[in-house]
Amino acid sequence: MRLSRAFLPTLKETPAEAQIASHRLMLRAGMVRQTSAGIYAWLPLGLRVLRKIENIVREEQGRAGAQEILMPTIQPAELWQRSGRYDDYGKEMLRLRDRHDREMLFGPTNEEMVTDLFSSFAKSYRDLPRNLFHIQWKFRDEVRPRFGVMRGREFLMKDGYSFDLSPEAARHSYRQMFVAYLRTFARMGLKAIPMRADTGPIGGDLSHEFIILAETGESQVYLHRELLDFDPLAESPDYAGDLTPQVEFWTRRYAATEELHDEAAWNAVPEADRVAARGIEVGHIFYFGTKYSASMGFQVAGPDGSPVTPEMGSYGIGVSRLVAAAIEANHDEAGIKWPDAIAPFKLAILNLKPGDAACDALCEQLYAALPDDAVYDDRGERAGAKFADADLLGYPWQAVIGPRGAAAGRVELKRRATGERQELSLDDALAKLRG
């Protein structure tokens, strides 16, 4: 992308309405724009990050055996009347009427719809287990939308649903998602710690929230320090095998949100290992048994012909919230420091003197080598403005090309995260960027 032609409306001033760094930086970097309270348009740079996050989620869901579908945003009220949640959900649900005066709603979640959908096809024990997910916009009329896309009213969520024949099989599905979530967040360059959590209005008896530590997080959390040192990508899981050891490894050490905090267990953690911090919930998984299958009359014929009510779990990831959470966890005074895997572009090419033949030629060569993953700052701006924008927008690498270096065929490569700089030939710079 050539910046001279890009739609990248950065702001010089700090927007007054933004209280936390990620919100400020997303507005300043021209990633999103609020169109109503808690509702955002995604601009090109923000959308690229959103899509990268979405794709990592999609790949890891697929690896764990879940299949993607796409359910609509608008749902009939009748589904929610069947489960009994239509009245309980209260004012957070956006209720609508169509021209025939039928009651509809903008989905805040999809347990009812997926149960209805799947139950119309699954008739036999052979149709189970299955795990279905979609990545779709949700609407929740939050009392206090705030912090930008961190707590929006319209937001993008991955929600998945598992259907099993027995509680033990359902616990296996739960463990598959537990492990898939660890990998998903780690691949984004984020440390998300699984913590015992309350099952809340979804109900059920087993639940974990995945939490990224950040000072501005809305949850108070307590955890064993060692959990911050483990690498979920160290081994690749066998999803068909027994995942109990992996889950036990992560749940053996203390980690809980405020709602389930247990003072006695906490005091048993050596003092030097206790971390009390704020955190951002980026994922939440539940095993809730037959709550929806029973209320919605979903049964399959078991192996001996007698009816079985499937056991279910649901698994959410805050895809749009993750964009903000990643920034909360990765920024400094100058701007964003994107983890490589979710950066909107890998490289910014800063031409310090457009019009200088050597600068232009070297920049074009570098840009041609990475056409899809580089932004080329070819604007007629001062060098200082280009440095500031590249730091603000947080591309993992900057290639700084000025007249003196260009004449010698050299590129200055800067790593945004560490500030480290190196002067390299074009080939060495490319090798480093591709490596």
Candidates 171-179, 264-272, 315-323, 383-391; binding stretch for ligand ATP (CB under 6 A): 315-323
Q: State phi, psi for 388 to the nearest 5 degrees.
A: -65, -45
The one-letter amino acid at 252: R
Residues 171, 94: Cα–Cα separation, whole Å: 33
Task: Give the shortest CB-160-to-Mg ion separation in angstroms.
Answer: 14
Site membership for ligand ATP, residue 217 (CB under 6 A):
no
> Looking at 129, 148, 313, 318, which residue binds ligand ATP (CB under 6 A)?
318
> Looking at 112, 281, 328, 377, which residue binds ligand ATP (CB under 6 A)?
281
When CB distances to Mg ion are compared, the closest residue is 284
Both structure tokens of 393: 């927008």
User: What is the H or E stretch that residue 140 is in?
Assistant: none
Residues 422, 417: Cα–Cα separation, whole Å: 14
Site membership for ligand ATP, residue 284 (CB under 6 A):
yes
**What is the residue whose two structure tokens read 């490589």?**
340
> Looking at 23, 52, 134, 151, which residue binds ligand ATP (CB under 6 A)?
151
* DSSP string of 260-280, one letter each residue: G--HHHHHTS-GGGEEEEEEE
Mention every residue, 6+ apart, whose C-beta is less than 8 A from residue 105.
74, 75, 76, 77, 80, 93, 94, 95, 96
Site membership for ligand ATP, residue 291 (CB under 6 A):
no
Number of residues that bind ligand ATP (CB under 6 A): 15
Site membership for ligand ATP, residue 321 (CB under 6 A):
yes
Site membership for ligand ATP, residue 155 (CB under 6 A):
yes
- What are the residues facing 75 on neighbouring strands? 105
Candidates 72-80, 236-244, 280-288, 394-402; binding stretch for ligand ATP (CB under 6 A): 280-288
- State the binding string over 270-289 for Mg ion (x if CB under 5 A, else -): --------------x-----
Residue 103 and residue 77 in contact, taking contact as beta carbons nearer than 8 Å:
yes
Other C-beta atoms within 10 Å of 381: how many? 17
**What is the residue whose two structure tokens read 């609508």?**
96
Site membership for ligand ATP, residue 282 (CB under 6 A):
yes
Nearer to ligand ATP, 20 or 411 (CB): 20
Candidates 69-77, 278-286, 303-311, 336-344; binding stretch for ligand ATP (CB under 6 A): 278-286
The beta strands (E) that lie in 165-273 are given as 192-196, 206-213, 219-224, 255-257
List of residues contacting Mg ion (CB under 5 A): 284
Query: Which residues here bind ligand ATP, judged by CB under 6 A?
Result: 109, 140, 142, 151-152, 155, 157, 281-284, 316, 318, 320-321
